[in-house]
Amino acid sequence: MADVSSKNEEKGGDQGTEKPKAGWSTGKKVGLFIIVFAIIVILLAFLTMSVVITASSPGDPLPFTTTYSTSFPEGQMIQIGNIQISAISYQNSVTTDVNGNTQQLSVGQTQTIAEQHATISTLGVITILDTNFQIDLTYRGASNNRNYFDAAIHTGRQVPVWLINQILPASIDATPA
């Protein structure tokens, strides 16, 4: 008998027991599925974020302000929500067109875009934020086919900077000031 057990040990031990199979347990698969699903939902939420801007009654308090340094490409129409803005410079002035209303500004002058209401939503139905806002654009000059402005965005509710950054078009090179 001793000879048989020593021969089994030489061949790799007890051959009657199986080693557990390496692989994914059901719990790990469910956990991975939940993580992948959450990443997809978050990605879809960012990709489907939209802004609807409507008229509002002016006069509501706008106690929160976020300021950006921006540059608008010369003569190109820029859209922020449903506000269309273009700027064409000549010497030390700029002519802006905001939704069809033109105004000429010299360096240091400010144009106010009237108070409006913004509803920011995602996935088509989930409202992220509802607030009134007003934008003050202060002209800083032109260089290299771009018009530079300081943009002060006044809001009725605190709006996270990351959310404003999602809304502002990349073409205006907005950086928090």
Per-residue pLDDT 10s for the chain (177 aa) are: 555 555 555 555 555 566 666 677 888 889 999 999 999 988 988 888 888 888 887 777 999 999 999 999 999 999 887 789 999 999 889 999 999 999 999 999 999 998 889 888 888 889 988 899 999 999 999 999 999 999 999 999 998 888 888 778 889 999 988
Is the Cβ–Cβ distance between 117 and 87 less than 8 Å? no
Tokens linked to 139:
């002209």
- What is the model's pLDDT at position 9? 52
CA distances from 85 to 30, 133, 145 (A): 49, 16, 16
- What is the model's pLDDT at position 136? 95
Position of tokens 């409202």?
127
Q: Give backbone dihedrals phi and psi of 81, rounded to 5 degrees, phi first.
A: 65, -120
DSSP state of 21: P
- What is the model's pLDDT at position 19? 60
104-108 long-range contacts (CB < 8 A, ≥24 apart) are 105/137, 105/139, 106/139, 107/139, 107/140, 107/141, 108/138, 108/139, 108/140
- What is the model's pLDDT at position 135? 92
- What is the model's pLDDT at position 93? 94
- What is the model's pLDDT at position 143? 93
Query: Could you tell me how far CA 166 lies from the centroid of its own chain?
Result: 2
- What is the model's pLDDT at position 49? 83
Nearest of 142, 155, 154 to residue 70 by alpha carbon: 142
Question: Angle CA(171)–CA(157)–CA(134) in degrees, nearest 5?
Answer: 50
pTM of the model: 0.73
